[in-house]
Amino acid sequence: MQRKFRISVDGRAYEVLVEEIGHDASALPAGGVHPVAQAVAAALAAPAPARPVAGAGDEVAPLAGTVQSIDVAIGQTVKAGDKIATIEAMKMKTEVFAKGAGKVTAIAVKTGDSVDTGGVLVTLA
């Protein structure tokens, strides 16, 4: 038996068609919504996990990808415009340049790590 459900995700309504296999469709709880449909709707509507917010002095990834190189070392002094890293996304390499000047106090990633847009690469003080 197929049943049609309407779920809402981030304020947008979706209609889904669910086929029940091997279960008695008459065993639905009051309200007529199957627990599996409730679980799917809840999972889709759950907020994404919070990503740490970059702080002052943090140089961040401009796009999601894989770190190909870190071109600075802890203790190194950099000025705005110096290359700090290279990120690869979709077989294209993007060089990342420091937006500010300072001394590298921390490196948050290593070669081969995956980073999200806005993920901290290095910290300058």
Q: Specify the pTM.
A: 0.59
pLDDT in tens, 39-79: 777 777 777 665 556 778 899 999 999 999 999 999 999 99
Average pLDDT score over residue span 86-104 = 95
pLDDT in tens, 103-119: 999 999 999 999 999 99
Q: Report the pLDDT value the prediction gives residue 26, as an integer from 0 to 100.
A: 60
Q: Report the pLDDT value the prediction gives residue 32, as an integer from 0 to 100.
A: 67
On whether the CB atoms of residues 54 and 115 are closer than 8 A, the answer is no
Candidate CATH numbers 3.40.50.2300, 3.40.50.1100, 3.90.1280.10, 2.40.50.100; the one for domain 58-124: 2.40.50.100
The domain segmentation of the chain, as residue ranges, is 2-45, 58-124
Closest listed residue to residue 58, CA positions, set 108, 96, 95: 108
Q: Report the pLDDT value the prediction gives residue 40, as an integer from 0 to 100.
A: 77
Q: Check pLDDT > 60 for residue 25.
A: no
